[in-house]
Structure 1
Amino acid sequence: MTDEGCSALTSALKSNPSHLRELDLSSNTLGVSGVKNLSDLLMIPQLKLEKLQLSCCRMTDEGCSALTSALKSNPSHLRELDLSSNTLGVSAVKNLSDLLMIPQSKLEKLHLSECSITEKQSLILTSALKSNPSHLRELNLSWNTLGDSGVKNLSDLLMIPQFKLEKLQLSYCDMTDEGCSALTSALKSNPSHLRELDLSRNTLGVSAVKNLSDLLMIPQSKLEKLHLSGCSITEKQSLILTSALKSNPSHLRELNLTWNTLGDSGVKNLSDLLMIPQFKLEKLQLVSL
């Protein structure tokens, strides 16, 4: 759809909004008029939309800002929002942060992959979540430049007992070992809810792998999916990781160690893990460098 089609569709929805629960306009061109009509629709009190997907809609910061501003006026029904692969500038991130802080907001899934979010903007976003942490269950900030300070602020959020995140995706976030270490250390203090963690294509050094291993050994940890593709994990670090899994093997179902240098001893240790009856892995990825 072009802007003209999106505009016609959203204009029509405004005349009968009360039944709509899910709207997916991903990979269509939402131009100025399309965004304007959609924003008007989102502000109608009778609209009880629960899931809104707008990934790859070629929206600029202006469009994203108008949209997130509209969501603030009718926040209580929305449970899932996907704005991935659009440009979120300062004003859009600020509006989105205001939405997250509204007590009536009960957003459970937030997908912001590849949204041009900078280190500074990520600080605004995670700070907002700290003020209203109890509802969010899934957070995807992959392919954004969070940097170590952004990750450290996110780490503070992860330590809040009321924050019950189940799925965290942070692949390609320009994190060094320092940021990854802060993040994995934070997860250790509030481990019982997390079910899926993706840190692919970030640099996990010795301290980050050690903290992650400590997390895996905690009895309360119930992590089911762990993605560490292209994390610069060495043979020695893989030994630490797989040894940790041996002590708490029953929950993990997916493990991705693709594009790391495990070496023969790392694979041997992993093989020992695979032979443990309590280890019920369903998916293993070990694609070579």
Structure 2
Amino acid sequence: MNNNNLQDSGVKLLCTGLTNTKCKLEILRLSYCSVTEEGYKALASALRSNPSHLIELDLTGNDPGQSGMKKLNDLLQDPDCQLKTLRFLSPAAEEACQYVNRVVGKNPFLQKELNLSRHELGDTGVNQIAALLQDKHCQLNTLILYRCSITEKQSLILTSALKSNPSHLRELDLSGNKLGNTGVKHLCDVLKNSHCKLERLSLSDCDITVEGCSDVTSALKSNPSHLRELKLSRNKLGDSGVKNLSDLLMNPQFKLEKLHLSECSITEKQSLILTSALKSNPSHLRELNLSGNKLGNTGVKHVCAVLKDSHCKLERLRSVTFTYKNQNA
């Protein structure tokens, strides 16, 4: 029910259904529904009366206030509560970090996600997030900082914190920040760490050039077994970046399922290197995005050679429009 103006009165009506013992709802999404403290309290009370089925709750973009947060905390302490994912977004980094740390941080079974996308964090916000990442008890699983105006200097603070406690984070999204090659190099120290268990990494539109892309792919080569999704769109891979990525794709330990390389200035020649690598290890990839590159008919033919392979398990392919010349392709 995301993006509806339910308000507290609408949530209270919904709660009459949630309290019904026959209600077996598992996923409830109420992001940006103009819910305030009263709605949060009603929701938490309803869920406490019938807590055993709900496993995912999305309350992003609403305002719980202190009393609403307390009621949610009480819900999480209920031994019958089965919530695995709770999503919450505050307009201030400090409030969001406090929420993750104090309210959900002590629950070992909850997937902890912090999403501050499109908020300009500044040095204060970055330092607060870094402190959260270093907290051994909090164990943050997902960190989404899309378009947060993070600088190279701030990226060093974040990655230094991650290096000290890398084993819990499963998803990191730094897309849309001007990290540059220097900022990405700091991140590579985390990726090389054998305790790093990242499964999803998004670095699209980060002002990364050939050097930075090569650093990322080289770092992943030293710790390849966990990553399942990689987004490098709108960066310049260059020959060395494509070559390193291709070497990574050929590694039997690298079981990537989603690869996004849109608008990476990939040429026909580079597409041959890339698709040759995919042909040698095609069974894991499920999604490939090559849109916005100048592959030409020759590059598309290389992609088709992968698709013809009986071991290819691709379910989604995004490519550019091309001139049709070869019926067999």
What band does the TM-score fall into relative to the shorter chain?
0.7 to 0.9
Question: What is the distance in 1 between the residues matched to 2:279 and 2:305?
Answer: 9
Question: What is the distance in 2 between the residues matched to 1:153 and 1:119?
Answer: 9
How far is the alpha carbon of 1:85 from its aligned partner? 2.5
Match of 1:65 in 2: 94
Q: Could you say if the C-alpha distance between residues 149 and 36 of structure 1 is closer, same or farther in structure 2, counting changes exceeding 3 Å?
A: farther
Question: In the alignment, does 2:131 pair up with 1:102?
Answer: no
Question: What is the distance in 2 between the residues matched to 1:4 and 1:258?
Answer: 37
SS in 2 for 1:174: coil
Q: Could you say if the C-alpha distance between residues 126 and 16 of structure 1 is closer, same or farther in structure 2, counting changes exceeding 3 Å?
A: farther
Q: Could you say if the C-alpha distance between residues 125 and 41 of structure 1 is closer, same or farther in structure 2, counting changes exceeding 3 Å?
A: farther
Q: Could you say if the C-alpha distance between residues 9 and 43 of structure 1 is closer, same or farther in structure 2, counting changes exceeding 3 Å?
A: same
Out of 76, 88, 109, the position equivalent to 2:106 is: 76
Out of 41, 58, 61, the position equivalent to 1:24 is: 58
TM-score normalised by length of structure 1: 0.84
CA-to-aligned-CA distance 1:138-185 (integer Å, 9 cap, x gap)? 111112222211111111111111111111111121211111111111
Q: Mean alpha-carbon deviation: is it higher for 263-272 or for 223-232?
A: 263-272
How far is the alpha carbon of 1:200 from its aligned partner? 0.9
Match of 1:242 in 2: 275
Match of 1:6 in 2: 36
Question: What is the distance in 1 between the residues matched to 2:234 and 2:72?
Answer: 36
SS in 2 for 1:197: strand
Question: What is the distance in 2 between the residues matched to 1:256 and 1:71?
Answer: 33
Contact 1:42 1:71 in 2 (8 A): no
Question: What is the distance in 2 between the residues matched to 1:73 and 1:235?
Answer: 52
CA RMSD of aligned residues (A): 2.8
Question: In the alignment, does 2:212 pair up with 1:179?
Answer: yes
Q: Which amino acid aligns with 1:120?
A: K
Question: In the alignment, does 2:265 pair up with 1:265?
Answer: no
How far is the alpha carbon of 1:76 from its aligned partner? 2.6
Contact 2:40 2:72 in 1 (8 A): no
Contact 1:40 1:70 in 2 (8 A): no
Question: What is the distance in 2 between the residues matched to 1:136 and 1:220?
Answer: 20
The correspondence of residues 1-289 of structure 1 with structure 2, limited to 5 A, is 5-10=35-40, 23-28=57-62, 30=63, 46=77, 51-54=85-88, 59=91, 63-74=92-103, 75-77=105-107, 78-83=110-115, 84-288=117-321
Q: Which amino acid aligns with 1:121?
A: Q
Q: Could you say if the C-alpha distance between residues 210 and 168 of structure 1 is closer, same or farther in structure 2, counting changes exceeding 3 Å?
A: same
Contact 1:99 1:105 in 2 (8 A): yes
How far is the alpha carbon of 1:105 from its aligned partner? 2.2
Q: Mean alpha-carbon deviation: is it higher for 272-281 or for 64-73?
A: 64-73
Q: Mean alpha-carbon deviation: is it higher for 188-197 or for 85-94?
A: 85-94
| Aligned-residue identity in percent | 54
Q: Mean alpha-carbon deviation: is it higher for 44-53 or for 148-157?
A: 44-53
Question: May I ask how many residue pairs the two structures share in their alignment?
Answer: 280
Contact 2:177 2:205 in 1 (8 A): yes
Unaligned runs of 5+ in 2: 8-32, 323-329
Unaligned runs of 5+ in 1: none
Contact 1:138 1:165 in 2 (8 A): yes
Contact 1:17 1:46 in 2 (8 A): no
TM-score normalised by length of structure 2: 0.75
Contact 2:100 2:138 in 1 (8 A): no
Question: What is the distance in 2 between the residues matched to 1:37 and 1:288?
Answer: 54
Q: Which amino acid aligns with 2:59?
A: L
